[in-house]
């Protein structure tokens, strides 16, 4: 899997997990889903994403 595919997979898993935890454990988990969404939106405008920087440091192929 390339970098963009891994990023989408991670974001999807994070959002799904946060929504599930928000519905079953505590509503504050929805803030984590909002955090992921805000990062996705800012990366669309700036071209920089913290998770992409981390994945690059871990050696994931572009």
Summarize pLDDT for 41-61 with one digit per residue, the tens: 999 999 999 999 999 999 998
| Residue 13: pLDDT over 90 | yes
C-alpha distances in Å from residue 43, one per residue of 21, 40, 46: 25, 5, 5
| Residue 30: pLDDT over 90 | yes
Q: What is the pLDDT of residue 21?
A: 98
CA distance 45 to 33: 19
What number is the average pLDDT over the span 2-12?
A: 94
Residue-range domain boundaries for the chain? 3-57
CA distance 52 to 38: 15
User: What percent of the chain is predicted at pLDDT more than 90?
Assistant: 95
């Amino acid at each position: 899997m390339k970098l963009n595919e891994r990023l989408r997979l991670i974001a999807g898993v994070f959002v799904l997990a946060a929504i599930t935890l928000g519905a079953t454990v505590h509503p504050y988990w929805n803030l984590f889903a909002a955090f992921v969404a805000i990062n996705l939106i800012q990366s669309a405008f700036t071209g920089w994403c913290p998770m992409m920087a981390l994945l690059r440091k871990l050696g994931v192929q572009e």
